Amino acid sequence: MMWIRSVLVLFTSLALAQETRPPVISPEVQPDRRVTFRLSAPSASKVTVTGEFARGSQDMQKDAAGVWSITVGPLEPEIYHYNFGVDGLRIIDPGNARVKTGSTPSTLASILEVPAPSASFYDGQPVPHGDVRLHWYPSKTTGSLRRLAVYTPPGYDQGASTRYPVLYLLHGANADDMAWTNLGRANLILDNLLAAHKSKPFIVVMPFGYGVPPGETNNTQMFGKDLIDDVIPFIQSRYRAYSDREHRALVGLSMGGGQALTIGLERLDLFSYVGGFSSGLRPADFAQTFANVVKKPDEVNAKLKLLWVGCGREDGAFAASQKFSEFLKANNVKHTFRETSGAHTWMVWRRYLNEVAPQLF
């Protein structure tokens, strides 16, 4: 129990330091896009910051008042995630109210946004906006009440007779059904594409991607059953959605990318657009998992309107994604393999959604 006592002592000292000293501004984004991080921790012996803006952890320096700081950059305009390390303990920035959350504690991080001179493709802009709605639905598969998020395009409520295609958009490990809106800004990306006449209007369904508790091995199987037997019927009963495969897509990132490729390519009776971003794949499983795909590639090619696989070269998933593309090519399955810069981050996945959405429907 000593480690619990140590953690409590650390957080108590940090809280007292924040209460008894002038407010510490962190992060501070300067006009030249340099960013200063600060943390009041007089009793700490070492403080670091680790974020998507740099490789590895960066040592911070303590001043006479016990405030640790570091200035990095200038940084490219983007949305970054970061954490502090205080004597080896990983924490969020207590001076920053913007926090990345998910379904497990390991995803907790602080959010830094470095704005561009003009609005980015993922920023809220003065255009018509769609709605994001939350639903609880009974899952026969899991025997529980589960939540999902739904994006409807601008004007959905005004067109009582209009039907829409549906994109089922899956999150990655440790995330949840709100990840694609809270972190991926999917709703704003689609609003902006629609306003620019670059994309067709469609509904986006973002379910919770765990059919079993995190860490169990049959997640894809159980989640796939929930998606097909529970989620899709729920959406068909609640929304003016087309019910045919030609108007249905399945796309995901990381864990969800592996799920989208595995489930989508096995169920081409339900989906005609399939995509995976930085997908969680095992090359050793390709021959077995995708046996039905490579058995009759001509039939698969005829059914698929889009098979899109993308990954950043600095991503740990890149080798597997590249090998999957080579596997598909060797078996004459038509697809797009998008190789870009970038690591396993939302910075990459936002760009991929912005690129793929105009190719749907």
CA distance linking residue 231 with residue 139, whole number of Å:
8
Q: Does 104 score more than 70 pLDDT?
A: yes
How is residue 301 written in tokens? 């090619």
pLDDT at 3: 43
Q: Does 18 score more than 80 pLDDT?
A: no
How is residue 173 written in tokens? 């490990």
Mean pLDDT of 96-111: 94
Mean pLDDT of 346-361: 98
- Which pLDDT band holds residue 324 (cuts at 50, 70, 90)? very high
Residue with tokens 């340099």: 34
Percent of the chain at pLDDT > 90 equals 91
Using alpha carbons, list the distances in angstroms from residue 331 to 241, 295, 334. Answer: 34, 8, 9
pLDDT at 2: 44
The SS3 assignment for 63 reads coil
Class of domain 131-359: alpha beta
Q: What is the pLDDT of residues 44-62, one digit of tens each?
A: 999 999 999 999 999 999 9
Residue with tokens 């995901």: 252
**In this structure, which topology does domain 13-114 adopt according to CATH?**
Immunoglobulin-like (2.60.40)
Residue in 51, 90, 89, 85 with CA at minimum distance from that of residue 68: 85
Check: pTM over 0.85? Answer yes or no.
yes
- Which pLDDT band holds residue 339 (cuts at 50, 70, 90)? very high
Pairing of strands 273-277, 248-253: parallel
Helix (H) or strand (E) holding 266: helix 255-266
Q: Can you give the residue ranges of every domain in the chain?
A: 13-114, 131-359
CA distance linking residue 200 with residue 358, whole number of Å:
7
Mean pLDDT of 183-197: 98
Residue with tokens 């205080």: 86
The SS3 assignment for 320 reads helix
Pairing of strands 28-29, 35-40: antiparallel
Residue in 90, 80, 96 with CA at minimum distance from that of residue 47: 90
- Which pLDDT band holds residue 4 (cuts at 50, 70, 90)? very low
